[in-house]
Structure 1
Amino acid sequence: MLVTVAMFVAFARGRMSTEIISLLTIAVIAVGLYFFPLEGNGPTDGLQLAFSGFGHYALITICALMVMGRGLVTTGALEPAARFLERVFKINLQLGLLISLLIAFGLSMAVNDTPVLVLLLPIFVSLAARGAMPASKTLIPLNAAVLIGGMATTIGTSTNILVVSIARDLGMPPMGVFHYTPIVLVAALVALPYLWLVMPRLLGDNRTEDNHAARRFQTRLRVGDDSALNGQVLASIMPKLPADLEFHDAPQGPIQPQQRLSVSGTHEALEEAMRTLKGEVAPDWVLDRIRRSSSASGEDIAVVEMTVTADSRLINRTLPTSGIADLYGVAVLGIHRPQRLVGERDRYNEGGDLRIEEGDVLLVMGIPQDLTNFARADSLLTLEGMRELPRRSKAVLAGGIMLGSVGLASIGLLPIAISALAGAILMFVTGCVKFDRVGRALSAQVIVLVAASIAIGRIILESGAAAWLGELMASGLQFLPPAVVLAAIMLFVTLLTNFASNATAATVGTPIAFNIAHQLGLPPEPLILAVLFGCNLCYATPIAYQTNMLIMSEGGYEFKDYIRTGVPLVLLMVTTLSILLVTTYGM
């Protein structure tokens, strides 16, 4: 108990990194159990307990889920869903968040909460990158909505199934899937305003402010044969295009296939315009050549910005006369011209193509080796921020793998650990995630934190600390009213959940609640439900549940963020659920 409290205080103070505190906790347990082993254990058995978290199925599951989430991001499989929610967020940020919370809540009632969050997490990270609410303000509320929805049915989480199973073994009648759903729905209505309106205000903004405005690139957009522009007047299609896309010398009359339009905009705006209009800003033969090179070499296609230096051969040339595509197999998507002095004019050739000058920034697409050769040969300075393009040819495959893994776990055909591992293996085998990029999917902070929390959970259970706390609590509840008894049991289990594990809380709390009910002459079912609800109130620490850890690195959260937002939610849910249980069961 002292080790647990010390770890909690260290996390809450935030003076040391999460990784250091986690590793110190593991080290203290290992050394302490060597000199003071548990009853019936040898000195070296403590090493196995302390380091067992690194091979625990929960950690393997989390890592596999991270790999599958990375696969969805690198293939762009979730872009359609992200664009839909982006449109909702553009209408109103608060409306977008509300709809997202309701979707998360509804899905997790029928599907295990961990896969639901894994599906939604990359979408909201992508939305944050597109200018919606920052991930740090949405992921904790989203996670809370998933956890509350998972609490509403017996199949929502594996912990619910465990509590119901233990209760049946103790002699209670079985509970149906929606046995207690109305209670949770009413509690969710009370909690939703807090998740929606209060919780985001308690969280910081983890977005980094750019020191300069996004670069705007001038280019020629070639209209595709099946473009939405064909036969239309430009003004009629403008509302469907990005707001920061600008047309220069806009044509009069209907747009024709293969017509070239002079446009400018940010890289994101150009990509959105190409997707909407089914057009290209580089010749088709160059793009096809890049895709063939990528397929043959196994390298991802990347986009990078390059600055033209004073001794570059490109100065005074235009893109058509530069021979860049023929020489290097890369495509220049656009040219950014820095702010010019008053009176200076951009220079164009007879065909209206911009002449390249010193200081121009080229937006170049190709495979990394070709990009390097181009920059070296033509005296270009590569800027930071190389971005790999999604492997959209594998988007359907990655989505199918994720849905298959989620589906197998949701219907109970496979444990979530096995289905997630199988999905991660398929992501590797099919090339949706590359072996040399797996480090980008995994978070060292999450890995050591999970391992430390598993070690803490085991020592709380095996040292007898959990059982001692239960006995102490039972002796003090006999003189209290039923509502307070329910709240005390729920808070006790919540404490175990947030510092040990759901399984520990369920295993220890269910028989204690059953015995307390008989000792106090109360009906056992509401006390068992108090345990079940308490096992799901895991909002106050990142170590309480695996979904809390999944969002930690993406949201840039610290331990205190969970405490600040989670403790009020725990108190709100405990109060509401206790009152509802007393009212429902006439206690």
Structure 2
Amino acid sequence: MTPEMVACLAILAVAIGAFAWDRLPADVIALGVMLAVIATGLLPADKAFAGFSSDTVMMILGLLIMTVGLVQTGVVEITGRFVFEFAGRSQAVFLPIMMVSVAVLSAFMSNTAATAFFVPLVVGYAAKIGVSPARFLLPLAFASILTSSVTLISTSTNLIVSDLLGTYQQPPMGMFELAPVGLPIAVAGILYVWLIGVRLLPQRSNQKAEEKIGERTYQADILIPEESPLIGKSLKEAHLTEDAGMTVVKAIRGSDTLRRAALDELELAAGDELLIEGLRADLLKIKDIKGIDFKADVHPAKPPEKETEKKDKEKDEEEEDEKTIVEGVLLPRSPLIGRSLRSLAFKERYGLEVLAIHRAGSLPSSISSARLRMGDVLLLQGTPQNVKALEQGNLFNIFGSVQEERLNRGHAPLAAAIFALAINRRNDEAGVIARCHAGRRVPHAADALPVSGRRLSPGRVEGVDPHWRAAVVVGAAMEASAPVNTWRNSS
């Protein structure tokens, strides 16, 4: 055994140990292996980075861009919402439809991204019907995993194997070449989980789903503005019902207050004020609904501006773009305890808008008139500077940003069409499409994208970060393994 072989085996052993230790990110370990191979002279530096330009890495990056497109334009959310509306409150109907839906999506996009996007929807559904989300989350994960061997692009491992076939003068795998083997396995696995596996899950208590996952039920005041397209529609037609994860507690119209049965016959009118209840993620979707606003977001009409006031308006618009949303819990010795938001003139004093409030036990009758209590959790909107000032004043403990990605649903058909075009291509053509997408978008994202893959410009999407790590691992490993392949071929 030559010294080079000993060095290579030592590096390999250290890498395996580091992966098993699981204390360092996989991409960092892979880059370390590549640098070690260069430092020991096993591979020239000019060849070590060649793996990052391989078809496999470009394919992974291209698929990431298309996956982000499907998520950001709402294609995945629309699919999930359709499943929940179709299933109603029947668990027997919901479970198989949910598993099949996530399985189909996972076959053509990152199963990590598909699962991550379905999780809050599933948790919300579990909360609505009053069962533990554990009954659905494990089947969700299995359904996503089982379809990873159905298509070429369902997991990066398939892409690596397909690329390696070319080094042995073999044609690459087709898009659905794995389906004759992978599809029966996926179908059998899903049937087993649905019919048998779900019955083997431990029974959980009927604790609220949102409390188990860390979600909180908030209450918020919302308004129907003038010329809203929702005027004249019922709450169901406006998607302000339990099916959308929201419950209207009461409606205020002038001096009248409507509750319970009266809400079923309510037709929305301009100026209506609604007190709604729901999980944080569901309430924040109000910002995407045209014709309805958080009361805190509505600013009173102002007289025509003078020329000297335009600069102040531009400054306010810049601050509006910088706004973030955070959760803050009222500290025990806060001087705000016992006072209402209206009496505090909270928005004017602290520069922050209170979108919603969570309170353990009894909930307030309205946001602005509620007297604050120790432990109240407020959903606050404002600039980072004002949020920091509030926390430094020992008034609140800020949890951090909970800003949700705004979905661009207008581009959903285009995103779906591009993705459909890509998956209908075979072999090299699929790689060409992916490389084209990556070539157009990745250079612009690179400025805001660290190697660890924590952000994607123009916006970060939860659940797709592992794809960036996979691209780095594959790019580093493909050439780092070259010395082993050379010795094997020479022997």
The TM-score with structure 1 as length reference comes to 0.53
Following TM superposition, by how much is the alpha carbon of 1:405 offset from its aligned partner in structure 2, in angstroms? 7.5
Aligned to 2:109: 117
Q: Is the 8 A contact 2:330 2:376 kept in 1?
A: yes
Are 1:254 and 2:244 matched, yes or no?
no
SS in structure 2 opposite 1:79?
Answer: helix
Q: Is the 8 A contact 2:109 2:154 kept in 1?
A: no
Aligned to 1:387: 402
Q: Is the 8 A contact 1:217 1:335 kept in 2?
A: yes
* Higher relative contact order (Cα pairs below 8 Å, separated by 6+ residues): 2
Gaps in structure 1 of 5+ consecutive residues: 38-44, 106-115, 151-155, 169-174, 341-345, 469-587
Q: Is the 8 A contact 1:144 1:195 kept in 2?
A: no
Q: 1:369 to 1:26 in 2, by over 3 A?
A: same
SS in structure 1 opposite 2:115?
Answer: helix
Partner of residue 81 from structure 2, selected from 60, 80, 83 = 83
Following TM superposition, by how much is the alpha carbon of 1:129 offset from its aligned partner in structure 2, in angstroms? 2.9
Distance between the aligned counterparts of 2:32 and 2:191, measured in 1?
Answer: 37
Q: Kindly provide the amino acid, as one letter, of the partner of residue 215 in structure 2.
A: A
Q: Kindly provide the amino acid, as one letter, of the partner of residue 117 in structure 1.
A: M
Are 1:419 and 2:437 matched, yes or no?
yes
Distance between the aligned counterparts of 2:32 and 2:275, measured in 1?
Answer: 60
SS in structure 1 opposite 2:327?
Answer: strand
Distance between the aligned counterparts of 1:88 and 1:145, measured in 2?
Answer: 26
Partner of residue 140 from structure 1, selected from 137, 142, 145 = 145
Gaps in structure 2 of 5+ consecutive residues: 124-135, 203-208, 252-257, 303-312, 449-454
CA deviation map 1:513-572 (0-9, x unaligned): xxxxxxxxxxxxxxxxxxxxxxxxxxxxxxxxxxxxxxxxxxxxxxxxxxxxxxxxxxxx
If you compute each CA radius of gyration, which structure gives the higher value, 1 or 2? 1
Q: Is the 8 A contact 2:234 2:266 kept in 1?
A: yes
Aligned to 2:128: none
Distance between the aligned counterparts of 1:429 and 1:29, measured in 2?
Answer: 28
SS in structure 1 opposite 2:347?
Answer: helix
Distance between the aligned counterparts of 1:247 and 1:278, measured in 2?
Answer: 19
Percent of aligned positions that are identical:
16
Select the structure that is richer in strand: 2
Q: How does 1:128-527 map to 2 (within 5 A)?
A: 128-130=119-121, 131=123, 133=137, 136-147=141-152, 159=162, 184-185=179-180, 188-189=183-184, 192-194=187-189, 197=192, 214-223=215-224, 225-227=228-230, 230-231=233-234, 238=241, 240-242=243-245, 250=259, 252=262, 253-257=265-269, 258-271=271-284, 279-286=292-299, 296=318, 299=321, 301-309=323-331, 314-339=336-361, 353-376=369-392, 379-392=394-407, 394-396=408-410, 400=414, 404=418, 407=421, 411=425, 412=429, 414-425=432-443, 434=457, 442=465, 445-446=469-470, 448-465=472-489
Distance between the aligned counterparts of 1:418 and 1:355, measured in 2?
Answer: 57
Q: Is the 8 A contact 1:333 1:363 kept in 2?
A: yes
Q: 1:147 to 1:192 in 2, by over 3 A?
A: farther
Distance between the aligned counterparts of 2:358 and 2:473, measured in 1?
Answer: 44
Following TM superposition, by how much is the alpha carbon of 1:256 offset from its aligned partner in structure 2, in angstroms? 3.5
Number of aligned residue pairs: give it. 419
Q: Kindly provide the amino acid, as one letter, of the partner of residue 84 in structure 1.
A: F
Q: How does 1:531-546 map to 2 (within 5 A)?
A: none
Aligned to 1:545: none
Aligned to 1:101: 103
Distance between the aligned counterparts of 1:316 and 1:454, measured in 2?
Answer: 63
Distance between the aligned counterparts of 1:30 and 1:72, measured in 2?
Answer: 39
Q: 1:371 to 1:457 in 2, by over 3 A?
A: same
Distance between the aligned counterparts of 1:194 and 1:209, measured in 2?
Answer: 29
Following TM superposition, by how much is the alpha carbon of 1:127 offset from its aligned partner in structure 2, in angstroms? 0.8
Q: Kindly provide the amino acid, as one letter, of the partner of residue 188 in structure 1.
A: L
Q: 1:9 to 1:332 in 2, by over 3 A?
A: closer
CA deviation map 1:396-417 (0-9, x unaligned): 4587468547746865394522
Distance between the aligned counterparts of 2:161 and 2:314, measured in 1?
Answer: 46
Distance between the aligned counterparts of 1:272 and 1:299, measured in 2?
Answer: 18
SS in structure 2 opposite 1:333?
Answer: strand
Distance between the aligned counterparts of 2:461 and 2:180, measured in 1?
Answer: 39
Q: Is the 8 A contact 1:286 1:325 kept in 2?
A: no
CA deviation map 1:153-210 (0-9, x unaligned): xxx99949987x9679xxxxxx9x99x97x95487335531366469979x99xx996
Following TM superposition, by how much is the alpha carbon of 1:270 offset from its aligned partner in structure 2, in angstroms? 2.9
Aligned to 1:22: 30
| Cα root mean square deviation, aligned | 5.6
Q: Is the 8 A contact 2:335 2:395 kept in 1?
A: no
Q: Is the 8 A contact 2:329 2:375 kept in 1?
A: yes
